[in-house]
Chain A
Amino acid sequence: MLKVTDLHVYYGGIHAIKGISLSVKEGQIVSLIGANGAGKSTCLNTICNLVNNSKGKISFLDRDITSAPPHKIVKLGVAQVPEGRKVFPQMTVAENLDMGAYVRKDKSGVRHDMGKVYKLFPRLLERKNQLAGTLSGGEQQMLAIGRGLMAKPRILLLDEPSMGLAPLLVREIFSIIREINSLGTTILLVEQNANMALSIANYAYVLETGRIVLEGEAKVLAADEKVKAAYLGG
């Protein structure tokens, strides 16, 4: 469904991604794990064409989207839940969700999906009219995920959804990710929390300073000695 081939990304003189290839099959959860600065966020941003200087090929549903403008990519069904949430701080929770559905024209479908998001995150319903900037970090994360879902994406790119959350909330968020996936949305999940990520993913890639050093079935990777040593805390 999503296919990245031989991708290079440069920030000025820095060669941040040095030729990676990956693919995500429809219906799967694919995880991209790696240490700080490995290039995970860069990879997601490049898929959405938010980065200027890149080489390589990206295709989605067999269409070349390498140089499609960002808003067209969203229209095709790729939504990103960015690192650090990036909710619209001066808009209410409801307005943020509404913005998520910006590219959609089917009003009744949007209303229906808004109901679904509120069912997934009852906390957001309680705070519907609160300004997003005043939400707690965990609530902002829920809102960011909800906003991503409102685009009714075919694939959802999640960038470190567990960052800065209490362990209990992390578990809740991950079970919600699984639920979203079981409802038919394909997921590409970037994570530092390799343990959790590998536990829900079908397939995973390990990224190290801009290169993929390991890939395979999530279960296999979770059992791999090297991965255990480097990412799973022994």
Chain B
Amino acid sequence: MQPVFGFALFAVFVALIVVLARNKKRFPANPISSFFFGFIIVLLAIGAANYFMVAISANRLYFWQQTIYGVSLGSVYALIALGYTMVYGIVRLINFAHGEIYMIGAYAGFFGVTSLGFPFYFALIFAMLTAALAGVIVERIAYKPLRKAPRLAVLITAIGMSLLLQNVGQKIFGSIPRSFPRQFTGLYRIGEINLDQSRVIVFAVTFLLMVALQYFVTFTKPGKAMRAVSQDRDAAQMVGVNVDRTISLTFFVGSLLAGAAGILVAIVFPQIRPTMGLMPGLKAFVAAVIGGIGIIPGAVLGGLIIGVSENLVTAYISSSWRDAIAFGLLILILLVKPSGILGRNTREKV
């Protein structure tokens, strides 16, 4: 009874905020109605906050543990979201086959660990490279020939590619899930909080990859070329950037990260199957949009927001809300700021 009540209060509170944010110009005009609304909002906020405080203070350690797990999960979403956002930034394409690249990474990691007997970190690199290769091949055969085609045609091709890869995956790997051999089963203790070793490893590896990406994009020549193409493709050509190669490179780097995400998720949730790319792919796409698509820090922010809210919702409300929260957040944030949290508030320029 109580959880639903607290959640409902919170939802009404958020909805009111959204309404107010959308109607900036009209509400303050009438002092009585704005007072009335202000009063209701404060009441709702206190009610919702009270509920959450009670729930959290009942077991603080659990709250922190779940938040940290949320960050760990969110960092994986962020890793996938980066691929969406980078590709979008450079070719204005939502690469729906990206979730399948992540799936390929997971299977490459699986076979690396099992059939080839690689140690984990070696399998990680193997998964990344395999996924990157797959990403570049998809770009070559499916998107490159459509470089000058209307955007809708490319989008539909991307959806087709996604379905194709799922089905080829089922043909090759079989549709029965496989279980990834357990890795990192230890526990870490930080203060009084117990943390699964696997979740910590996921976060650490992801963090390192993001630092590497940041370095690559900011300081290296191919990284700068990527930024240049995404900001002004013609101008990039005029200074001598090879645009085709830069686009391939973007797919390569994005897929590298998705491949890492695939094997990293498999050490926390060890069931892998050919359709596993669908949900995380969608959520990572949502993360990219929430953060502001085309903006690299936005993808990281969006991924973390979704990961943390998903984990907290599962922990405090119900796991059946888990998949809904990402899309709920998407709707809310787009209502308030259509270009995403870090998005620049400009009309789309083509």
Write the nearest CB–CB distance from A137 to chain B, whole angstroms: 16
- Given the known interface contacts A75-B240, A100-B239, A102-B239, the answer about A82 and B231 at a Cβ–Cβ threshold of 8 Å is no
A85 (CB) vs chain B CBs: closest residue = B235
Q: Chain A residues near B239: list those with CB within 8 A.
A: 74, 79, 99-100, 102-103, 147, 151
In contact, A102 and B234 (Cβ under 8 angstroms): no
Dominant secondary structure of chain A at its interface with chain B:
loop
* 8 A Cβ contacts from B86-115 to A: none
Q: Chain A residues near B33: list those with CB within 8 A.
A: none
User: Of A82, A87, A90, A102, which contacts B240 at CB under 8 A?
Assistant: A102
Dominant secondary structure of chain B at its interface with chain A:
helix
Write the nearest CB–CB distance from B322 to chain A, whole angstroms: 36
In contact, A71 and B227 (Cβ under 8 angstroms): no
In contact, B231 and A102 (Cβ under 8 angstroms): no
In contact, B238 and A80 (Cβ under 8 angstroms): yes
Q: Chain A residues near B238: list those with CB within 8 A.
A: 48, 50, 70, 74, 79-80, 82, 86
**Size range of the interface on B?**
10 to 19
Write the nearest CB–CB distance from A81 to chain B, whole angstroms: 8
* 8 A Cβ contacts from B209-267 to A: 221, 224-225, 227-228, 231-232, 234-243
Confirm or deny: A215 has a beta carbon within 8 angstroms of a beta carbon on chain B: no
Q: Chain A residues near B224: list those with CB within 8 A.
A: 95, 98-99, 102
* 8 A Cβ contacts from A56-101 to B: 69-71, 74-75, 79-80, 82, 86-91, 95, 98-100
A-B contacts at CB below 8 angstroms, number: 64
In contact, B242 and A88 (Cβ under 8 angstroms): no
Q: Chain A residues near B240: list those with CB within 8 A.
A: 70-71, 74-75, 102-103, 151
Q: Chain A residues near B148: list those with CB within 8 A.
A: 52
Q: Chain A residues near B241: list those with CB within 8 A.
A: 71, 102
Bound complex: CA of A71 vs CA of B238, how far in Å? 7
In contact, B237 and A50 (Cβ under 8 angstroms): yes
Bound complex: CA of A74 vs CA of B239, how far in Å? 7
Write the nearest CB–CB distance from B241 to chain A, whole angstroms: 6
Known: A87-B232, A90-B231. 19 other contacts (CB 8 A): A48-B238, A50-B234, A50-B238, A71-B242, A74-B239, A75-B240, A79-B238, A79-B239, A82-B235, A86-B238, A95-B224, A98-B224, A99-B224, A99-B236, A102-B221, A102-B224, A102-B241, A103-B239, A103-B240
19 inter-chain pairs at a CB distance below 8 angstroms, sorted by A residue, are A48-B237, A50-B237, A52-B148, A69-B242, A70-B240, A70-B243, A71-B237, A71-B241, A71-B242, A71-B243, A74-B238, A75-B240, A88-B227, A88-B228, A89-B232, A91-B227, A102-B221, A103-B240, A151-B240
List the 6 closest pairs (A to B, CB-CB), nearest first.
A74-B240, A103-B240, A86-B235, A70-B237, A71-B240, A88-B231
